[in-house]
Amino acid sequence: MDVAIVGGGPVGLFIAASLSKMGYSVTVFEEHSDIGNPSHCSGLFSEHILEIVGEKERRGILKATRRAEIMAPDGSLLRIKSSSSRVYVVNRVEFDRSLARDAINNGAEIHLKERVKAVSRRFIKTSWGEYRSKIIVGAEGINSVVRREILVSPPKIIGAAQVVANYNYGEEDLVRIYVGNEVAPGFFAWVIPLGSDMAKIGLASYGNSWLFLKKLLRQLKAHPLSISAGGIPVSTVSRTYGEGMLIVGDAAGQVKATSGGGVYPSLKSAQCAVKTIERALESGDYSRTAMKKYEDCWRREIGKELSNAQYIHRQYRKIKDVDFNNIVRELNRPDMLKIINEYGDIDYPSKVVWKLLKKNPRLIKYTRIIARK
């Protein structure tokens, strides 16, 4: 085969669909028996994601959301409202399966319930057999076999837990965020509506995320129907390529450390992977030098934003609850809300952060963020 992709998540499936459409032979190896499951994602997607994958009417969109509330530790609220919706609640299972259908329709093979045990240059050993491939892509998440083979240390990980719950939400276009060290130390909790009496409720933290989530569920009087847990990368790895190999997505730490969202930066990186793989297959050059073009591309496209997000995350971890309360008060000013509504973008959060700091320098003493040019 031309390309073997380890991992049947959205990133691996997008690469498979793109390359198979060009006429290359592509096989995806997925250890689970069901595309899209288990789903650890919040399913809150931006317009940018849908622009990359195209045909958004086919991608499992449940609803648009135009409002968000951020609750400070003292109960005060920062209410954000967008006049034009740029964020969607998406059924992640259907989203992933739509990408799988694209890959299959373009000629790719998907091997379900076939776990990759080891890889080496051009060889893949799975639970069912051995294969040869010109290029191997690691898109299998934080415990990447491909990343270990290219001798790269894993990204820094924080724990996350999420439930789908029976919860009388009341407002179906409103996303709620809870901040504070009593709720989710070092990160935040979220409530995302799925319907009038259903929601995804989750959090990530530097503590025991499941214990913190159970506490929040009791406060909300929400009743879990399903539970999932996993890890969120909050740093990128030092290198994302080897001879004839690339790693993409969570395996590479291509996740926004500010929000834990990885689909958009991973898909941007996947576009770079497709270009690099196409050039390598055309030229027959699978050297590290040829593969390095992938890393040069994704760092140019999304690397600066990921770096900014990691910096903001490190400073965010230092914020005390009393300062969260002060920050929410400062942001509730009309001029601050105008900036948030005008420049807020969940895929490029650093843009609005720097503008807010410039407009209101008092925020610096609460956030400990040094304003950059």
Same domain for 190 and 140: no
For helices 304-316 and 349-359, what crossing angle results, to 10°? 60
Whether residue 320 sits in one domain with residue 268: no
Range of the domain at 263: 3-61+90-154+237-302
Last residue of a domain, one of 209, 233, 257: 233
Which range (141-150, 299-308, 340-349) has the least confidence?
340-349
The position carrying tokens 């080891």 is 118
pLDDT tens, residue by residue, 127-173: 999 999 999 999 999 999 999 999 999 999 999 999 999 998 777 77
Same domain, 39 and 114: yes
Q: Identify whether 83 is part of a domain.
A: no
Whichever domain contains 145, its CATH number is 3.50.50.60
Percent share of the chain, pLDDT over 90: 74
The mean pLDDT of the chain is 91
Q: In this structure, are 53 and 114 located in the same domain? A: yes
Of the two residues 196 and 352, the one the predictor is more confident about is 352
Q: Quote the pTM value.
A: 0.93
pLDDT at residue 368 above 70? no
Q: Check whether 284 has a pLDDT greater than 60.
A: yes
Is residue 373 situated within a structural domain? no
Please give the pLDDT value at position 373: 42
Residue 35 placed within a domain: yes
Q: Are residues 20 and 167 located together in one domain of the fold?
A: no
What average pLDDT does this structure show over 40-58?
83
Q: What is the pLDDT of residue 121?
A: 87
pLDDT at 247 (0 to 100)? 98
pLDDT over 80 (residue 245):
yes
pLDDT value at 13 more than 60: yes
Higher pLDDT, 143 or 40: 143
β-strands 3-6, 130-132: how paired?
unpaired
Please give the residue that has the higher pLDDT: either 44 or 305: 305
Q: What is the mean pLDDT of residues 298-313?
A: 95
Average pLDDT over residues 10-29: 97
Indicate whether 94 and 51 sit together in one domain.
yes
Please check whether residues 220 and 245 belong to one and the same domain: no
For the stretch 82-126, pLDDT in tens is 765 578 888 889 999 999 999 999 999 999 999 999 999 889 999
Average pLDDT over residues 292-319: 95
- Judge whether 320 lies within some domain: yes
Instruction: Assess whether pLDDT exceeds 70 at residue 369.
Output: no
Average pLDDT over residues 14-34: 97
Query: Residues, the chain, total?
Result: 373
User: Per the structure, how many domains does the chain have?
Assistant: 3
Domain of 216, CATH number, reads 3.30.9.10
Domain final position from 278, 302, 326:
302
Structural contact between residues 223 and 166, judged by C-beta atoms closer than 8 angstroms: yes
Indicate if 212 and 260 belong to the same structural domain. no
DSSP 78-123: EEEE-SS--EEEE-HHHHHHHHHHHHHHTT-EEEET--EEEEETTE
Q: Is residue 71 part of a domain?
A: no
Quote the CA–CA distance of 272 and 300 in Å, as a whole number: 10
Residue 55 has pLDDT above 80, yes or no: no
- Domain final position from 212, 233, 254: 233
| Residue 225 included in any domain | yes
Same domain? For 190 and 47 the reply is: no
User: What pLDDT, on a 0 to 100 scale, did the predictor assign at position 365?
Assistant: 74
Per-residue pLDDT tens for 183-209? 999 999 999 988 778 899 999 999 999
Please tell me the least confidently modeled range out of 142-151, 238-247, 257-266, 353-362: 353-362
**Which of 23-37, 55-69, 145-159 shows the lowest per-residue confidence on average (mean pLDDT)?**
55-69
| Residue 260 resides in a domain | yes
CB 328 within 8 A of CB 278: no
pLDDT score of 83:
61
Answer whether residue 220 is part of any domain: yes
Question: Are both 216 and 321 inside the same structural domain?
Answer: no
- Distance between CA atoms of 228 and 209, rounded to whole angstroms? 11
Domain shared by 14 and 97, yes or no: yes
What type of residue sits at position 354? W
Q: Tell me, yes or no, whether 257 and 142 share the same domain.
A: yes
